[in-house]
Amino acid sequence: MIEELKKIKETALQKIKSSEAIEALEQIRVEFLGKKGKITEILKKLGSLSPEERPKVGSIANEIKEIITNAIQEQHQVVLEKELQKKIEQEQIDITLPGRTLGCGHIHIINQVMNEIVDIFIQMGFQVAKGPEVETEYYNFESLNTPEDHPARDTHDTFYIKPGIVLRTHTSPVQMRVMEKTKPPVAVVVPGRVYRVDNDASHSPMFNQMEGLLVDEDITFTDLKGTLMYFVHKFFDKDTAVRFRPHYFPFTEPSAEMDISCTVCRGKGCRVCKHSGWLEILGCGMVHPKVLEYARYDNEKYQGYAFGFGIDRMAMLKYAIPSINLLFENNLKFLEQF
């Protein structure tokens, strides 16, 4: 029986040493040390031995049992370390490889153009003003000398939130808000979103506009023309031709529309300018005396000029963009050009 125990020990130790999995070690433990294991079976036979042999065999069996248990525990640790090392090797990061960089965003074309335009007017001494996009009819229309029967106040042209409250149709209401709180001289530009019931290739129900206002003593139409010509030559180029045509706006008198030579054909005539050689870019004029009265300015002492244009349209003209929808569709292939 002692020889059998020695063979069992050698067999167990060989199996333990060659095991490379936790599951295999557990099977070995059950095979040799379990309730029906080989050593347990021998211990059950001790009763058949003589009183002299029984203690000796029992002692050897327990000693072998302890050796096998220790060997299993040691191999268990070895297997765990190997599995950990294998996992580390599989999941390790090669720090010599280039990293995965995130794409860098940039300023949207509309904001680029808006910032460029604002900078030009700041250089001329204008300040930037802002106002609410949800506006009262008083500031949006009445204070700007736009009567109740004016077509611009109809629902086919203006978004009404509720009676007396609209989405502003231009940034001009900020003019009145500024003049109510500021004594002349006043020189501000007002960039911002505006809303009109319109939607086609060159119009959007929401677009961006820039309003300009200057009020002081001895201001003339010549000052207005000089300011706008300087702006056009800075924003486009010095070779851009400019012309003014008489027009009507309820809040300016006299009023005009300003055209520039076509940015595509340089005035020769093309599809973009409808073969006229000219593109209309903004409306302007001297501030109407009634508007100055609403602001409680002395219209005998002070004069002013105002102008307004679409920032989106400026971007389209400068970069030959065929449709205003491209500015709002969030097409990265288009936007990344700028």
Taking the mean position of all CA atoms in its chain, how far away is CA 167?
25
Residue 147 has pLDDT above 80, yes or no: yes
Helices marked H in 170-220:
173-181
Max Cα–Cα distance, the chain, nearest Å: 136
pLDDT at 335: 87
338 pLDDT band (50/70/90 cuts)? confident
pLDDT at 43: 74
Sheet holding 127-128, edge to edge: 127-128, 186-195, 206-216, 303-310, 278-287, 252-261, 242-249
d(CA 171, CA 157): 15
Residue 158 has pLDDT above 80, yes or no: yes
**pLDDT tens-digit map of 198-213:** 776 656 788 899 999 9
Per mean pLDDT, which of 7-16, 21-30, 117-126, 144-153 is the most reliable? 117-126
- Which is more confidently placed, 98 or 243? 243
160 pLDDT band (50/70/90 cuts)? very high
Residue 262 has pLDDT above 70, yes or no: yes
58 pLDDT band (50/70/90 cuts)? confident
Task: List, in order, residues 6 or more apart from 332 with CB less than 8 Å away.
Answer: none
Q: What is the DSSP letter of 219?
A: -
Per mean pLDDT, which of 79-83, 294-298, 325-329 is the most reliable? 294-298
Residue 219 has pLDDT above 80, yes or no: yes
pLDDT at 149: 81
Dihedral sign from CA coordinates of 250, 251, 255, 258? negative
What is the identity of the amino acid at 166?
Answer: V
Are 124 and 307 contacting, i.e. CB atoms less than 8 angstroms apart?
Answer: no
Chain position carrying tokens 């106040």: 153
pLDDT at 202: 59
Residue 255 has pLDDT above 90, yes or no: yes
Residue 103 has pLDDT above 80, yes or no: no
- Which is more confidently placed, 156 or 79? 79
Q: What is the pTM of this model?
A: 0.66
Write down the mean pLDDT value for the chain: 87
